[in-house]
Amino acid sequence: MTWLVWNVRGINKKYKQKELNTCIRENHIKLVGLVETKVKMNKVDAISQRIVSGWSLIHNYASALNGRIWIMWDERVFEVNLLAQGAQYVHCKVLSKDKKIDCCMTVVYGYNTTEQRKALWNDIRSLVSSQPWLVWGDFNALLHNQDRLYGAPVTRAEIKDFADCVQDLFLNELLWKGEFYSWSNKQLGSDRIYSRLDRAIGNDEWMMQYGQLVVEYKPPHISYHSPMLLDMKLKPSNTQTPFRFFNLNLSIKYTDNLALEEKDLLIQLEKWTNIEESINQQKSRAMWIRLGDSNNKYFTAMIKERRHRKQIIELTTVAGAKIMEPDEIRKEIITFYQSLMGTAMTNITAVSAP
């Protein structure tokens, strides 16, 4: 049971609709937040049904031209109720049918300028919830100095408003894995810029109840932004003393040749998707379906959040297999370091002194 939030940079093209449908099916996604959809109101039903048939949908067309944000979900799994919406956010209550998930969720798509985003920070402050609360999406804003690679240096003015909002509301970034820089302009050579614009943050109640959940940043594929996948499967942690690990330096190996190859592949993908659809239409002769003590609570949440952050949640073995179970991870680490140190000597050969 996975959730997805993704800045798709337009979803009108059929090859994007198809790839999004594939992503949803292959990752068993049951709730989706899409931002920068660029879909006109009169095409919402048709396009949303092409992406996933039979799902429910809420949006913010009442506050933004071309509905900048969609939230779609499988009604068999979740009940979602719209609580508030604005030009830069959609805020809702999410309850799973099995009652295991009960929280508030805000999907965000921030405006491009610092001045325009001031309204977003005020809106987020007004939405503050005493329930577990997840706020995620494309904030279009940086939170730390290291959040941009290349281009102009990050200034204090760029991060101040976002940082103040996060600090004032005691919000914390969720555990994550995958791509660090969630956006790239995909330009060539020295014109290429990377930024971390897409984030998932939660309040202390979220960290207390769902702090072990991990956001995965996947490669951008059909967009300039990485999709964020959140596996909502709740697992009790049996590891009392977690393994500790070090943050590694980031390494970017994205060459101009790869950028050109990626661009060509996306063009080919769109072309063959259109051809495939044409063939399917001819075969079927039918169109697609149109389609209290807040400080104690905060510090307790912080301790729990840090404990989760200092765990190894996934490991790739020497053989290339991915393992996630704590016992398997422990055995793999022990085996690895034993192979480095060698085996113990049972006998020590005596050396005669001259």
Residue-wise pLDDT for 101-140, tens only, equals 999 999 999 999 999 999 999 999 999 999 999 999 999 9
pLDDT at 304: 64
pLDDT at 315: 81
**Cα dihedral sign for 303, 309, 314, 317?**
negative
pLDDT at 301: 64
pLDDT at 74: 98
pLDDT at 125: 98
Query: What average pLDDT does range 270-283 have in this prediction?
Result: 64
What's the CA gap between 163 and 147, in Å, rounded? 13
pLDDT at 289: 42
pLDDT at 300: 63
Residue 159 pLDDT > 80: yes
Domain 2-259 has CATH 3.40.50.300: no
When pLDDT is cut at 50, 70 and 90, the band that residue 330 belongs to is confident
Q: Is there a contact between 241 and 330 (Cβ–Cβ < 8 Å)? A: no
Which stretch of 36-40, 243-247, 290-294 has the lowest confidence by average pLDDT? 243-247
Please indicate whether residue 320 or residue 105 has the higher confidence score (pLDDT): 105
Cα separations in angstroms, 223 against 106, 231, 312:
21, 21, 29
Cα separations in angstroms, 329 against 35, 225, 266, 309:
36, 31, 37, 16
Strand partners, 86: 89
When pLDDT is cut at 50, 70 and 90, the band that residue 282 belongs to is low
Please indicate whether residue 13 or residue 328 has the higher confidence score (pLDDT): 13
- Cα of first residue to Cα of last residue in the chain, in angstroms, is 73
For the chain, the domains span: 2-259, 312-341
Per the prediction, the chain carries an average pLDDT of 85
pTM of the model: 0.73
Residue 354 pLDDT > 80: no
pLDDT at 134: 99
Please indicate whether residue 6 or residue 243 has the higher confidence score (pLDDT): 6
pLDDT at 331: 86
Grouping H, G, I as helix, E, B as strand and the rest as coil, residue 123 is helix
Own/partner pairs, 11-17, CB within 8 angstroms, 24+ separation: 11/37, 11/38, 11/39, 11/47, 11/51, 12/38, 12/39, 12/43, 12/47, 13/270, 14/50, 14/270, 14/273, 14/274, 14/277, 15/222, 15/269, 15/270, 15/273, 15/274, 16/222, 17/47, 17/50, 17/51
Strand partners, 3: 31, 230
Torsion of CA 165, 94, 84, 142, to 10 degrees: 30
pLDDT at 323: 85
Residue 41 pLDDT > 90: yes
pLDDT at 344: 60
Residue 42 pLDDT > 90: yes
What tens digit of pLDDT does each residue of 195-215 get? 999 999 999 999 999 999 999
pLDDT at 104: 98
Percentage with pLDDT > 90 across the chain: 63
Which stretch of 172-186, 219-233, 335-349 has the lowest confidence by average pLDDT? 335-349
Which residues, including other chains, have CB under 8 Å from residue 100's CB and lie 6 or more apart?
234
What tens digit of pLDDT does each residue of 224-260 get? 999 999 999 887 655 443 333 333 334 445 555 666 6
Name the nearest CA neighbour of 121 among 139, 95, 148, 145. Answer: 139
Residue 338 pLDDT > 50: yes
Query: What average pLDDT does range 21-27 have in this prediction?
Result: 97
Query: What average pLDDT does range 12-29 have in this prediction?
Result: 97
- Amino acid in position 163: A
